[in-house]
Structure 1
Amino acid sequence: MSKKSLQIAALPGYEPEIGRWLWCLGDVRRTILEKLNGLEPDLLDQKVEGKHSIGSLLYHIALIEADWLYVEVLETDFEPEIRSLFPQDDRSEDGALVHVAGQTLEQHLHRLQAVRDRLLFHFKGMDLTDWRTPRQLEAYDVTPEWVIYHLVEHEAHHRGQIFELLRNLREQREKA
């Protein structure tokens, strides 16, 4: 068995501190992609005990990442090509995630990657001063540094939900 090297490495082409945080964000995504590799298509839209589907969680992860990038970091509207990836809000009137159904895993992964590509593009030229400069919004002040921290935390949280859903759905299938 080969020995693992558990280290964080800065993404090349970024200020090193920023690159390390972006590596962490990418590592959470990597583990999701590995777990979903070969996902049975019918499991994407299924719910367990009224919980969200995997597809709905993937849609939510992408939309929240886009929202934090555009609204908080860039303080602008979504670019049209990114807006087109989100034909519906991610929450219903009661605050629950909407059920996103009828899309393939490839469509979900394309959306996630398109948003991540834009995020990486916009952070590429950022220096530490901008990284730590608060954006002064109506409800709060927030730095790009905190946004990336939050996105790591957010995606890791939903990764756990996705993994639990996947385990439960596969257990149900085995019992049937």
Structure 2
Amino acid sequence: MDAEKLYLISEVEGYSPQIGRLLSMMNYARCTTLETVRDLTISQLDYLHDSDSNSIGALLFHIAAVEYAYRTWTFEERDLNYDERQFWEPGMKLGDSGRERIKNNDLTYYLSLLNEVRTKTLEYFSNKEDSWLDIEKPFNNKPSNNYFRWFHVFEDELNHRGQIRLIIKKLRNA
């Protein structure tokens, strides 16, 4: 990510124009997420405000899981296979499963996961033209297109980044 261009929604070299603009928005969302979690410890990543809460680590895992799933659905046009579901489902569903299975990882683990998923996503986007964004498929039984689906990926990340900021604030006040 070019920090100088972080606040410009513009074309990105190596990508068609509209895909580049979409990636500009995704890059900004990711940069702000990474800045929010910088230097967190394992205990901070695993902190649960109450028995129904998700940890920061689980939310980071969720962000990676959502991008992985949408990449599989939109680029590969398939559902997750058994092995993928076994790994990603606790992050997709969160709740009890996430609390039980997503913990005791350091920040490097989550950052690596986010980076691996994003690197592959960028690879897939580099092979598409803007017209791919307009391909329509139902989403929650409503008409949608790939543009919306990928907007939803980073919109979901921004939502959870807000939750992460709230958890950090509660941690500091605890």
Distance 1:31 1:79, change over 3 A: farther
* Corresponding position of 1:57: 59
- Give the residue type in structure 2 aligned to 1:63: A
2 CA distance for matches of 1:115 and 1:85? 16
After TM superposition, give the deviation of residue 138 of structure 1 in Å. 9.6
The structure whose Rg is larger is 1
Alignment of 1:61-140 (within 5 A): 61-76=63-78, 83=84, 86=87, 88-90=89-91, 91=93, 98-99=98-99, 100-135=102-137, 139=141
Say if 2:8 and 2:24, in contact at 8 Å, map to a contact too. no
**Residue 27 (str. 1) matches residue 28 (str. 2):** yes
Q: After alignment, is 6-15 or 19-28 more displaced?
A: 6-15
Say if 2:6 and 2:27, in contact at 8 Å, map to a contact too. no
When the two structures are superposed, what TM-score results if normalisation uses the length of structure 1?
0.81
1 CA distance for matches of 2:123 and 2:8? 24
Say if 1:73 and 1:143, in contact at 8 Å, map to a contact too. no
When the two structures are superposed, what TM-score results if normalisation uses the length of structure 2?
0.82
* Corresponding position of 2:45: 44
4+ residue runs of structure 1 moved beyond 4 angstroms? 77-80, 136-141
The CA RMSD over aligned residues, in Å, is: 2.8
Name the structure where helix makes up a greater proportion of residues: 2
SS at match of 2:128: coil
CA deviation profile, 1:60-119 (whole Å, cap 9, x unmatched) = 111111111102342135599x94993653326xx6662111111111111111111111
Distance 1:85 1:13, change over 3 A: farther
SS at match of 2:9: coil
Identity of aligned residues (%): 28
1 CA distance for matches of 2:11 and 2:172? 36
* Corresponding position of 2:154: 152
Structure 1 segments unaligned to the other structure (5+ residues): none
Say if 1:63 and 1:86, in contact at 8 Å, map to a contact too. no
1 CA distance for matches of 2:136 and 2:85? 29
SS at match of 1:48: coil
Matched residues, number:
166
After TM superposition, give the deviation of residue 137 of structure 1 in Å. 7.9
Structure 2 segments unaligned to the other structure (5+ residues): none
After TM superposition, give the deviation of residue 40 of structure 1 in Å. 2.6
